[in-house]
Structure formats: C-alpha cells, structure tokens
Amino acid sequence: MADKKKSQHVVPHPDGGWSVKKGGSTRATRRFDTQEDAISYGREISKNQEAELYIHRRDGMIRKKNSYGNDPHPPEDKR
C-alpha cells in the first residue's frame, strides 16, 4: 500500500470548489474554484515530492490515480 503521507488528493471542498490535501491530513493545502485548477496544482506538488496523486469525484470515490515517484510496479513494455 502506498505511503499516505507521500500522496496528494484532489477532493471536493465542503463549502464548494475543490481542495488539494496531503494524504492523511484533515486540512487542505489550498482551495480552488475548479477541479482542473486543483488537479494542476496537485500534479505540481506530486511531481516535486515524487508522490502519488489521487483525483476524487464529487462523491469522494477515486476516479484517477497518477504516480510521479518511484513506481514499484511500472507498466511492462508490450512490444
């Protein structure tokens, strides 16, 4: 399982808009009006920290995950 503290999450903010949160944190790092802006910011943080980025839907379910760090199970080349 991925280290919770080595991840960033794009989640819906209770007061509207979207937030970027560090894994395991209750407070948002930053809040945005659009999910697109939150994803862009979360991607930058994840790249800098070599972390996982989890993008959540409005209902809280994860819709997409990206790894910007040392992936223990990289995809195999199918050529």
47 located within any domain = yes
Judged by phi (left if over 0) then psi (alpha if -120 to 50, else beta), residue 21 lies in beta
First and final CA of the chain: distance in angstroms? 29
Query: Would you say residue 79 lies in a domain?
Result: no
76 in any annotated domain: no
Q: What is the DSSP letter of 68?
A: -
What domain range is 52 assigned to? 4-61
* Average pLDDT of the segment spanning 43-57: 95
Output phi, psi for 5, to 5 deg. Answer: -80, -10
In a domain, 25, yes or no: yes
Confirm whether 49 is domain-assigned.
yes
Helices (H), 14-62: 35-49
4-49, pLDDT tens digit by residue?
568 999 999 999 999 999 999 999 999 999 999 999 999 999 999 9
